[in-house]
Amino acid sequence: MAGDAAPANAEPSINVQDAMPSYYDSKHAQADAHFFNRREFCFTLNGDIFVRYQAFKDGAELQAAIQRRCPAKIDIGPVYSANPQDRHKFGASFQPLERELVFDIDLTDYDDVRTCGSGGHICARCWPLMAVAVKIIDAGLRQEFGFQHILWVYSGRRGVHCWVCDPSARQLTDEQRSAVASWFSVYKGHEEGKARVALLGGTMHPAVERAAAILRNAWRETLLPAQRLLEDGPHCEAMLRYLPEEGLVESVKRKWATAAKKEANRSMDVSLLRWGIIEEEVRLRLAEEKSRSKTGGNFKVVGPLERCLDEIVMAHAYPRLDMEVSKKMNHLLKAPFCVHPKTGKVCVPIDPAHADDFDPDGVPTVASLLGELAAAAAAREEAAAGADGAAEAAGKGPEPWRDTRMADAVTTFERCLLDGLAASNREELASRTRVAVAVGQLGIDF
């Protein structure tokens, strides 16, 4: 009865099908009709008022609530064992059952290696750091863990979010989520003026080697020239700290000084020129060490010298994850297609295969979308001006957003996630139907 409180130890009224819900609501006999209203939504209202544990019967009810309350931001949480609004009825038995595995990468964590800006700044020069992070994490999730349904979303300001939507990812425990996040945690923070990266032993793990290969290409092609890391004194000194021998550092400095006299007459990028000298000196030193090893008998090539070039690249550009976001099932994350309250930019999906081409300054904003809607409406009115019922015709037609850049964003969303996920869900529901028929739950003859 409405208003009656359930006992503190009452179990949420879910059955076996509810414990393993399909990922979307549907009329299908094997779908979980209560999946959507057990999902938490959090609204941030004007004045930074957080309204957590919102739940809705369906998408139409969510849309009505958004239109009525006009939240500045919408965050999505887990799917719970019961409607989040009824959580007080169930006490400790109210628990999250599933939630996408999520990752958050923010450019503020790269402020020590960015020369183009800091804090909330983002531009074409620092976007390559996000693009290469998308490539590395996406490849690892697919190749190491076998996940397929992965959505990358621009955060709307200075970073990217990743939603891993496979059933096996959504049902990971907190401990398992922490383990997956730790797998990607090669970057270990800073110590004694330089970043620490986990490159232990003489041979890198194949996954780390793959990431290093991605970074080596990006380092020369985009990262180093974009950030101009070897053009000023402090950044040059910081990079030289990664070289394991003082003699090697001095040799590099001497060649830099010699090259400086020629730099003014060369079209080559200064940072690339100086990086080339570092590479050349390291390789010369390695060749010397190998030669001594052959003639001296007991000399062994020093591991740090072999690894120092990769260490420099990975210390500057390997993905820096916000680990806490990934570890807990009940962590909130901003919804895709939200409008960032500080920038007005829409949190649009990113195609990981074309992450390099993504322009964070070119995404739709509230202002630009309103302009596009007005322009499209005016064009429809003009086209219908000579026809009977012009006013009526102007108000009809396709959904208005399809005349804006949101159409491209939705197409990316469908291509990169929704189409594959829908096919997988249909397969899962069909499989459940076959099982139900086999055990006599459904009276269906094939």
Annotated catalytic, 104? Answer: yes
Structure tokens given for 57: 């019967």
Among residues 18, 106, 138, 322, which one is catalytic? 106
**251-265, 292-306, 355-369: which is most confident:** 355-369
Q: How confident is the model at residue 33 (pLDDT cuts 50, 70, 90)?
A: confident
Phi, psi of 145 (to 5 degrees): -110, -10
Task: Please answer whether residues 405 and 433 qualify as being in contact, where contact means their C-beta atoms are separated by less than 8 angstroms.
Answer: no
Residue 351 annotated among the catalytic residues of the structure? no
Of 32, 75, 100, 104, which is the active-site residue?
104
Q: Is residue 164 within 8 Å of 150, Cβ to Cβ?
A: yes
The residues, any chain, with a CB within 8 Å of residue 32's CB and separated by 6 or more, are 17, 18, 21, 22, 25
Q: Find, among 431, 379, 376, 420, the residue nearest to 401 by Cα.
A: 376
Domain boundaries, the chain: 187-317
Listed residue (91, 145, 90) closest to 326, CA to CA: 145
Catalytic site residue from 18, 40, 75, 109: 40
The residue among 31 and 239 whose pLDDT is bigger is 239
CB burial readout 286-324, b (16+ within 10 A) else e: beeeeeeeeeeeeeeeeeebbbbbbbbbbbbbbbbbbee
Q: Which tens digits make up the pLDDT trace of 393-419? A: 555 556 888 999 999 999 999 999 999
Q: What is the pTM of this model?
A: 0.85
SS3 264: coil
Q: How far apart are CA 157 and CA 13, in angstroms?
A: 41
Over residues 346-393, the pLDDT tens digits come to 999 999 999 999 999 999 999 999 999 999 999 888 887 765 555 555
Verify whether residue 109 is a known catalytic residue: no
